[in-house]
A and B are shown apart, each in its own frame.
Chain A
Amino acid sequence: MKGAIAVWWIGAGRAETPLLDGVRGALETEYRLPVRLHVATDRPVDAWDPRRGQHASARILSWLSGRAPVGSRRILGVTDADLFIPILTFVFGEAELHGRAAVVSTARLAAHEGMPPDPELLAVRLAKECVHEVGHTFGLIHCRAPGCAMARSASLRDVDAKTGRLCAECRERCEDALSEEARHHEPQEHAHPDRR
């Protein structure tokens, strides 16, 4: 099986290596694929929506989709920007279902009910949400199995209630998707700048 998952810090602040290493570890464990940290200075500046004071996650996904590094099958952007989709007040992250790009934000994951931010808790939550959004790119939809990483996260309570692991059924579906990709000769091995 060819093609890694590329993880790219696209936030305004400094990249925190331990945080991204945690994401890498979680993705490697869950998807059994090589995960590479990608470093580049460009940022999706057009995603900023001054009216909402937030970043549009769909615009980030299109931006990411055309910038996957050569040799990667998926591109996951990690950002500190607060994300939204037009119909919702915020999202923790978003992904293209059956697509190649996903984005997760740390902006709302650090909150700790009046307590000072807890970096360890943030790392755990971020890893869970990254496994979740990358799962969507493999065609996984929200799952009702207790604890599965693909459970819908509409609040921090939901994020904390689930594990960062896929349930047996989601794992099997994901493996099917990976074998399907392997059969189709890795169509996403190279970046397609003209896409979207």
Chain B
Amino acid sequence: MSRKNTRILIVDDEEIVRESLGGWLEKDGYTLGSAPDGMSALKAVEEGDWSILVVDLKMPGIDGLEVLKRVKEKHPEIALVIMTAFATVDTAVRAMKLGAYDYIVKPFDPEELSLMIQKIVGQQALVRENLILRKALKREHRFHDIVSKSPLMRDVLELSKTAARSPSTILILGESGTGKEILARAIHMESPRADKPFVAVSCAALTETLLESELFGYEKGAFTGAAGRREGKFEAASGGTLFLDEIGDISPKLQLDLLRVLEERRVTRVGGTESVPVDVRIIAATNRDLAKAVEEGKFRQDLYYRLNVIAIRLPRLTERREDIPLLVDHFLEHLGVEMSRDVEGISAEAMALLMAHDWPGNVRELRNVLERGLVVTKTPVIQATDLGLVPGASGSSDKPASLSEVEKRHIAAVLHHSGGNVSQAARILDIDRVTLYNKIRKYHLRDVEEHEAVAETEKN
């Protein structure tokens, strides 16, 4: 986790304390905010994503211990440090009992403060690392793991959440690498079947007969080598979700078999005579145009209607370019943990290159490009040359980008470079803040705007 992503909120009624402590920590590269009293601190905690709170004990209204108590109740992951002008043992004990990370007496010794913050950041990094590795291991994906601020994706996620709670069959459409399986896993985790298995089958990877026995299972002696009975994926997913990827690639025979299972909710194992009931929620996905395949007679219309109960189309990465900076941060953090490589981020030039690329392989391609960057970079910041992308040679160039598209991408890249700081971004772009705000609104780069508005309130 880069220091920029560690957000520290300083809560003190004395402006000079907020300023001097904020200024000192800001030079370590942390993102700082401040609140002048307990009430605004609690509001800031609800609105922002803070890692550490440094809270003064004595404040008018809600005091430091009360802030500590209320924050810890709702956000046990936030580390709280209580500061006070006087050291009294009983207050220190109370603070620690309420879950404070530490207790520090003003004025602090610089080394003590520095070490304490480093220790907290180190511990929080370990907790995050653990969470990332656990998720990678269990391949658990939830909606909040899907990184996006694009309006298109917001619609997709809203529909998916609603659909998740229903028992209906879902058809996910989208190009390769748009994250169809990740969405399917998130839908499963949001559904009432979350504690039951999620079983994924790639229909394109197997031959017709193998896929048949894979899906429906087989009885002993069904074919040469079938030494015993084996249950299929339908049965394995019992009570849970069966994800059928590349559904557009299955043969006419399997289309018919699948249609029967969907209609009857029973499967017959290969070589068997009896059918067994199955209780599975089907999520199918394809990168093909199924409606067209139906028109061309390559895909059964009745099966298409069975699958197409709730259709969700995942946008291409180029349709949600504003998400690229967010995805970059997300992947660098996750890849950094998985590969034990710690980088601070990517250069503005590299980001501009990523924003301009055509991404035929979508989010998966972006992840791979960043993985390459992480492996080859020799500096703490990934450079454009580390990415292995040739500027200008960005895949399909049938339609060059419009001026406003280029402007939007560039503004998003600069805002990312400035860590969401609009004033700094405006300085780099050589335009005034009001103009930049207008452009942020125009291009729906809204999260940045909100982030800045919070930061502005915190400063005042």
Contact = CB atoms under 8 A, between A and B. Distances in A.
B28 interface: yes
Q: How big is chain A's contact interface, by range?
A: 20 to 34
Given A154-B114, A155-B110, A168-B379, A88 B27 contact: no
Interface in B341-385: 379-381
A176 to B, nearest CB: 9
Contacts of A90: 110
User: For B19, B27, B381, B428, which residue has the most chain A Cβ atoms within 10 angstroms?
Assistant: B27
A87 B381 contact: no
B398 interface: no
A145 B380 contact: yes
Interface stretch (B101-109, B234-242, B388-396): B101-109
B24 interface: yes
Question: What's the dominant secondary structure at chain A's contact region?
Answer: loop
Interface residues of B, number: 25
Contacts of A87: 17, 20-21, 24, 106-108, 113
Contacts of A91: 110
B129 interface: no
B26 A89 contact: no
A15 interface: no
B339 interface: no
A86 B17 contact: yes
B111 interface: yes
A47 interface: no
User: For B29, B107, B108, which residue has the most chain A Cβ atoms within 10 angstroms?
Assistant: B107
Interface of B: 14, 16-17, 19-21, 23-24, 26-29, 106-111, 113-115, 379-381, 428
Given A141-B29, A169-B379, A169-B381, A89 B24 contact: no
A54 to B, nearest CB: 10
Contacts of B428: 180
Interface string A139-150: 001101100000
Contact of A97 (B26, B106, B110): B26
Contacts of B380: 144-145, 169
A116 B28 CA distance: 33
Contacts of A168: 379
Q: Which 9 A-B pairs have the closest CB atoms?
A: A154-B111, A154-B110, A154-B114, A85-B20, A87-B21, A155-B111, A141-B29, A142-B28, A86-B20
B316 to A, nearest CB: 34
Contacts of A141: 26-29
Contacts of B107: 84, 86-89
A152 interface: yes
Given A88-B24, A88-B109, A97-B26, 6 more contacts: A85-B23, A86-B20, A91-B110, A142-B29, A152-B27, A154-B114
Contact of A152 (B16, B17, B28): B28
Contacts of A84: 107
Contact of A136 (B14, B27, B115, B379): B27
